[in-house]
Amino acid sequence: MKTALTLIAALATAYPALAGPYDQPYAMVESGNRSGVRKELPTHIGSIDGESTSRHRRSHVVAPGKRQVEIYLPTRVAPTAKRYRVVEIDARACVRYRIVARYDNLTHIEWTPVVYSEPIGECSRKFKRAG
């Protein structure tokens, strides 16, 4: 067992590509929550930097830097053109970005994307960064 762990550690050191996304400073992009008070709906994340996401409502780990995030409202009552938006996020290390749709009118599907950010505590502690 000890030999296997030593081998895995050696491989991870020799091949940085085998390292996971949490082995270096990271950012997260995810859908926010519904809020009737703020008139916000959750969005689905369709792609990040042109790469399609299969998990629309889950967190997506990304490297820090500028990201193009395609989002859409999961509704069938609006034309496709009114449901999709592209948001540019300048992702900082150890920060979580939650994207919601703030609506003015759901009858005619009038909405704008809103991005909330918050520090990721465990990332900040692991990489000793200030939030």
Provide the 3-class DSSP secondary structure of residue 13. Answer: helix
Q: Show Cβ contacts of residue 124 under 8 Å, excluding neighbours closer than 6 positions.
A: 94, 130, 131
Give the alpha-carbon dihedral of 20, 95, 111, 48, to 10 degrees: -30
pLDDT at 80: 75
pLDDT at 109: 79
pTM of the model: 0.79
Question: So where are the chain's domains?
Answer: 24-127
pLDDT at 131: 44
pLDDT at 23: 85
Residue 57 is given by DSSP the state T
Residues of the chain with pLDDT under 70: 1-2, 4-19, 56-57, 129-131
The torsion angles phi and psi of 50, rounded to 5 degrees, stand at: 80, -5
